[in-house]
Structure 1
Amino acid sequence: MAFPQSRRQAQVPKPCELCETDTAIKWKCVQCNTHMCDKCKKIHLKVQTSIRHDIVDAYNIEAKKDMEHTIITNNIPCQSHKKFNCMFCRTCDRLVCADCITAFHKKHDLDSIDTVCDERRQNLKQLRSRLFEKVTRYETKERQIQDLKTKYNNFLAESVEKINLQEQLIKVEVSKYANELRKQMESERQRIENSMLEKEKQCEKNKENLLKKQSDIQEVLESEHAVNVFIAHKEFCTNEVPDAPFETLLDETKDFIPQKDNLKNISNLFGSLQKTNLPKGLSQITFDVIKSYTTNINTVEKVLILDDRTVWISNRVLSSLRKINIDLTIKTVKDISVEVYDMARKGNNDIFLSLFDSTNVCLLTTKKGTIKPFLSISPLVTCGIHVTKQNEIILGVKDLGCPFKLTDKSCRKIIIFGMNGKQKQSYEYDKHKQRLFTIPARITSNVNNDILVIDRISDKDWRVVAIDREGQVKWVYQGNPEVNSDKLFYPIDILTTSEGQVLVNDVITNALHVLSGEGDLLTCYAMKDQGIFYQFSMDIDSKGQLWVGCHSGNEQRSDAKLHVVKMHF
C-alpha cells in the first residue's frame, strides 16, 4: 500500500528587522536584540545612540553565548539632568552624571558604573544562590512534611486496625468464656437435679414402707382374733422399724458474679493509648546520576564548581589546575602549572589555593587566571582549606616534620582567618590538653557553624573529627563497622549539605557515608550502584547537585570520570 507523501511548505526567509527588505541576515545587535543585514549593520553603528552596541554574528553560537550577559551601562538617564549617568557615587550610593559630580559629588568616592554593576551582579548572583538554597530547603521540608503525613496516616490506620483486631479478639475470647460458664452452669444444674431426684426416690421408698406397716397394723387392730394381736405386737413392737435417715440436702452450688468494678479498668484487659514517637519521614536517601563526563586526566583530585558550565579541577601528578567548560563534552580553556593540595571558593568566585609543601595560601583570580600569595603561615605549611558562609577562611596547617610521629615540638592545628588575612582563632589542643589533629587534610563547616575535619592519624588510620567554636570535640566518626570491617576507612573528601547532612567520601570501599549533624550514620551508600567508581573529590553546586570527580582505576589510563548527581534526602 502506498502512503501519501507529506507536503512541505517552503519557509519564507525572515527579512532584516531594520530595512525589512533584505533577507540576507548576518548580524545581531546584542543590546537591541535586532537581526540585520550587512547594510543596516553599518548604518546602525553610525547612529549616535548605538555607537557602543555590540554586533555579533547572528549564526555564531559561541558569540551569542559570550554576549548573552552583556550589560549596557552607558544609556542610563540622569533623573536630574538631561544627560546619561557616567559614574557611580559610593558615598551617596547613586548613579551620577557629569553635572551631578560637579555640583554635589566632587570629593565623594566615585567609581565606574561597570565596576559597581559587576560587583552588584555578583552580589545578586550570591543572593540568588542563597535564595535557591533556601527554596531547596523549604522544598525538602515540604517533601518531609508530605512524607510524614503519609506515614502518619498509615500509622494511624494501623493503630485503629489494632484496636479493631483487639476488640474482635476480646469479643471472641469473651464469647468463649461465657459459653464455658454456661456449660459449667448446665453441669451444675444436672448435678443438683440428679441429687434431688435421688433423694426424692429414697424418700418415696421409705414412705411406702412405713405406709405398708401402718396398714398392716390397722388391719390387726380391726381383727376379732386375739392371736393376730399377739403376733403383730411381737413383729412390730418388739422390733420397731427405726426412722429412715434423711440425707442432708445440698446447700452449695455455683453462681456467676459479674466483675463490675473491673469494667472501670477495662484498659488492663483491652489495652490503652500510650505516647510513642511519630514515624520518621524521608529516612531513605537516594542519589541519581544525571550527567557524566570523561576527562583526559588520570584523577580528578579536587573539583570546584563555579557554575553550570565552568569547573576547576586539579591533578597533582600532572602539576595541573584546569579551568574547564562543560557542554556536551569537556573543553579545557586554561591550564595552570601548580600542585594543588586543596582549594576553596571565595564569594566573588576567586579561589583560595593550598599548595603542596607551601607556606603560603594563594589566591587565584579566576577572570585573569593569575595566582598570587594571599597570606603566609611560615614556617608551617598548608593542608586543607575551607571558606565558610560567614566569609571566614579555615586552614589546616602542619610543620615539616615526620607526618605521623609527633613530638612536643610538632605543630598540627587549624587556624581561622578573616578575609583581610588576619588570624582570628586557632585550635590545636582540647580542654584536656590532648592534641586535636595529626594532619587536617580536608575541612568543612555545617549549619551549626561546627568545624568538621578529615584527620590523617597514620597511613592506615583516618577519621572525621567535629569540633565546636570553643575547640571542643563534639563527635568522632571512624567508619561503618559493617562496611569497614575488612577494609580501611579512607575518607578522602568531606562536604555538608544545606540541610546539615555530612557527606564523607570513602574511596577504598567505594562508599559515601551520610551522617547527621550529630555524627550519627544515616546511610552508607554504595556509589557503584549508580555506576560511580573510585570517587575521589566532591563539590555541591548552587542547585544542590553533587559533583563527583573520580580516579580512572588504573595508573596508565587518562579517562577519569566527572559525574553530576541529584541528591534526595
Structure 2
Amino acid sequence: MAFSQSVIRSQAPAKCGICENDRPIKWKCIDCSKLLCNHCKENVHPQFQNAKDHHVVNIKDMGQPTVVELNINKQYQTKLTAVSRISYYYDDSLWIGSVVDGVLQRVKPEGTKLNILSRFNIPVYDMAVTQSNNLLISRVESRLKQISSNTGTLTDSVYNVSPFLSMAVYITSDNKVLVGSVNSDYPKPGRRVVILLNQNGDHERVYEHDQHKQPIFTLPYRITYTRNGNIHVVDKVSADRYRVVVLGWGGDIINIYTGDTEINKDEQFYPRDIATTLKDNVIVADETR
C-alpha cells in the first residue's frame, strides 16, 4: 500500500509556491514540490517545462492511502535461504543480503538466474547506495561498513554513530546519511535516535525527542526521505505494534501512520520496509500475518 507525504504544518499560513499571494491553496505539484492556488495551477504551471507530465494532486487527497497494484514481470532464483535486503546498483546489478545466511551478494539478472558477481560472508541489517556508488552497510555496529565501487573491497566507512549501534541507513538526495540507531547495550532500555551525518561523517543533527521533549522512537529500523525534507521512520514499538513516524526536517512530528483502516482492520500492521517513489510518494511494505 502507499500513502502520500503529509502536508507541512507551520505557524504561518501556506502560500502559493508560484505567485506567493494569499489565494487559497488547493493543489500540489509532486514533481515541482510546489503548493498551488487555482489561478497558478490553471494558468501558470502549465507553462513549466514538461508540465504535461507532472503529477498535480488536490491537497485534500494527500495523506490518504491508495491501493498499489503489483504485477510480477520476471522472477529470478537464488540459493539464499531468504533475501532480507535488496538495493539496485548503478550497472543494473543488485545487492542482495540474507541475515539468515549471513551473506551479501552482488548479482546480475541473466535469463531466470542471478549471476553472482561478488560475495561477502557478512550479515547485513540494512544497506544503501551512495551517489558515488559505494555501498553503505549497517551490521548493528557503531561504524558503518563500506564496499567501494572502485575496488570492490569491504572497509570501514567514515560514518560512526558511537555511542550508538546502527540499524537503519538511508542516503538523502544531497548525499547525507540518516542512520536509525539504538543504545550500545540494546535490547536493554536506552536511547533510540535517528542521526543525520554529513559526507565527512560529522553528526549534524540527532532526532530523539518530540515537541514535548518525549522520546520519539522505540526501535527505528527503516528510514526513507521525501524532497520536502520529511523523514519517514518505521518504528517497532513492541512485538506486535508498529508505526511510521513522519518528522519534519526540524524534528517535529508531522504524522504517525499505524495502518489502513480497512486493510488493517483484521490484520496487524506489520511494515517490513519503506521507500520513496520518483513521484515523492512513500510506499510501505505491509506484511499481513
The TM-score range, normalised by the shorter chain, is 0.7 to 0.9
Match 2:192 to one of 385, 394, 412: 412
Q: 1:141 to 1:500 in 2, by over 3 A?
A: farther
Greater relative CO, 1 or 2 (CA 8 Å, sep 6+): 2
Aligned to 1:317: 100
Please give the per-residue CA displacement for 1:301-331, whole angstroms capped at 9, x wherever unaligned: 1111114631100001211000101121211
* Structure 1 position 460, deviation (Å): 0.6
Shift of 1:413: 0.5
Residues in 2 aligned to 1:411 and 1:326: alpha-carbon distance in whole angstroms: 41
Aligned equivalents of 1:499 and 1:326: distance in 2? 26
Residues 180-259 of structure 1 correspond to what in structure 2 (within 5 A)? Answer: none
SS in structure 2 opposite 1:456? strand
How far, CA to CA, are the matches of 1:469 and 1:342 in structure 2?
22
1:305 and 2:216 matched: no
Q: What is the alpha-carbon distance in structure 2 between the residues aligned to residue 424 and residue 308 of structure 1? A: 32
1:322/1:336 contact within 8 Å kept: yes
Q: Structure 1 residues 474 and 320, CA, compared in 2 at 3 Å: closer, same or farther?
A: same
How has the CA–CA distance of structure 1 residues 140 and 289 changed in structure 2, closer, same or farther, with 3 Å as cutoff?
farther
Equivalent pair of 1:308/1:326 in contact (CA under 8 Å): no
CA offset digits 1:106-152 (Å, max 9, x no partner) = xxxxxxxxxxxxxxxxxxxxxxxxxxx99xxx87953868xx9xxxx
Q: Which residue of structure 2 lines up, in the alignment, with residue 545 of structure 1? A: none
| Cα separation, 2, equivalents of 1:142 and 1:493 | 28
- Segments of 5+ residues of structure 1 without an aligned counterpart are 1-132, 149-276, 278-282, 510-569
Q: Report the AA paired with residue 154 of structure 2.
A: I
Measure the CA separation in 2 of the matches of 1:144 and 1:387: 24
Q: What does residue 493 of structure 1 align with?
A: 273
1:390 aligns with 2:144: no
Where does residue 363 of structure 1 map in the other structure? 146
- Equivalence for 1:436: 216
Distance in structure 1 (CA, Å) of the matches to 2:91 and 2:124: 23
| Distance across 1 between alignment mates of 2:50 and 2:263 | 32
Q: How does 1:60-71 map to 2 (within 5 A)?
A: none
User: For 2:114, which of 326, 330, 336 is the aligned residue?
Assistant: 330
- Over aligned residues, Cα RMSD in angstroms? 2.7
Q: Does the 8 Å CA contact 2:138/2:144 hold for their aligned counterparts? A: yes
- TM-score, normalised with respect to structure 2: 0.74
Partner of 1:504: 284
User: 1:451 Cα deviation (Å)?
Assistant: 0.6
Task: Report the secondary structure of 1:287's partner residue.
Answer: coil
Distance 1:307 1:139 in 2: 26
Find 1:463's aligned residue among 222, 228, 243.
Answer: 243
- Structure 2's unaligned 5+ residue stretches are 1-30, 33-48, 61-65
Aligned length: 236
Counterpart in 1 of 2:53? 142
Paired position in structure 1 for 2:252: 472
What SS is found at the alignment partner of 2:118?
strand
Q: Looking at secondary structure, tell me which structure has more strand per residue.
A: 2
Write the distance in 2 (CA, Å) between the matches of 1:144 and 1:449: 19
Correspondence 1:450 to 2:219: no
The Cα shift of 1:296 comes to 1.3
| TM-superposition CA deviations, 1:344-386 (whole Å, max 9, x none) | 1111111111113x12111111342211112332331101000
In 2, Cα distance between the equivalents of 1:389 and 1:144?
20
Aligned match of 2:124: 340
Deviation for aligned residue 1:402: 5.0
